[in-house]
Amino acid sequence: MEAGPAIEVTGLACSYQEFKVLQGVSFTVRTAEIFFIVGPVGVGKTTLLRNMVGLATPVQGEVLFNGRSFTKADTAERREMLKTFGLSFQGGALWSSLTLSENVTLPLEEYTRLPRDEIERIAAFRLAQVGLAGFEDYYPSEISGGMKKRAGLARALALDPTTVFFDEPSAGLDPIGARNLDRLILQIRDTFGTTIVIVSHDVDSILGIADRLIMLDRETQGIIAEGPPAALIAGAAIPKVVEFLTRRTVRSG
């Protein structure tokens, strides 16, 4: 029997202060899928992500994780659901006054009652998993941008989440660093069956690792395309989608 979707978004409307950004947004994300939310800068990608994970409140609509409503959950229910997904922000969003190990232990200290030695063991394992073994006692100012991204991912993985959300993971990285991060994301999905949701306008990353995507549009304030990127390019049904994914101008007529 096929399992239901990992995430269901239905009729979501999002605003930024008084400005309406998105309306009528509906889509599903399958379990263990690498799913991209794409589009040009300023179309509401990060706003949608923030509304999905509770960092902002939708004007309308509902978000469900594994069939449970996150939008309508009370405080206690939402806290339990928060344990099941990790967030990896732009730049890693590390606390500069804490070591990498201390940054990774934060969610474990917040959401578990594990003994200190177990928390530190998990933090060391997660840092090793992203290629940062031996850097536990380094501070963010002492490592490169790519390493900060990986440390942010280690923190997102601390609670062994079923879903991980990324906001522009390749921003600020050189092409080699960006592709290395893509490979790490693929490895995590393939090894642990993690559902991955990525906000990005990095076309190389989208074409390289996306199973499916939705593309947001400023004019319609919603989704103008959904599906595997290769199929959207081959179908050539919507010129602006093909232009975005191929970096080529599509002539009509």
Q: Which domains does the chain have, with CATH numbers?
A: 1-83+200-248 (3.40.50.300)
What separation in angstroms does the CA of 92 have from each of 147, 166, 170?
9, 10, 11
| pLDDT per residue as tens digits for the range 28-42 | 999 999 999 999 888
Q: Which residues pair with 68 in a beta bridge?
A: 65
Cα(134)–Cα(31) distance, integer angstroms: 33
Q: What percent of the chain has pLDDT above 90?
A: 76
**How distant, in Å, are the alpha carbons of 126, 171, 222 from that of 6?**
23, 26, 21
Distance CA 2, CA 20 (A): 37
Q: 91's torsion region: left (phi>0), alpha (psi -120 to 50) or beta?
A: left
pLDDT (0 to 100) of residue 99: 96
Tokens describing residue 35: 């799913």
User: C-alpha angle 216/53/116, rounded to 5°?
Assistant: 145
Of 79, 75, 9, 2, the closest CA to residue 37 belongs to 9
Average pLDDT over residues 4-22: 91
Q: What is the dihedral of CA 47, 52, 55, 59, to 10 degrees?
A: 70
pLDDT of residue 253: 47
Q: Tokens 């201390």 appear where?
A: 102
pLDDT in tens, 130-173: 999 999 999 999 999 889 989 999 999 999 999 999 998 888 88
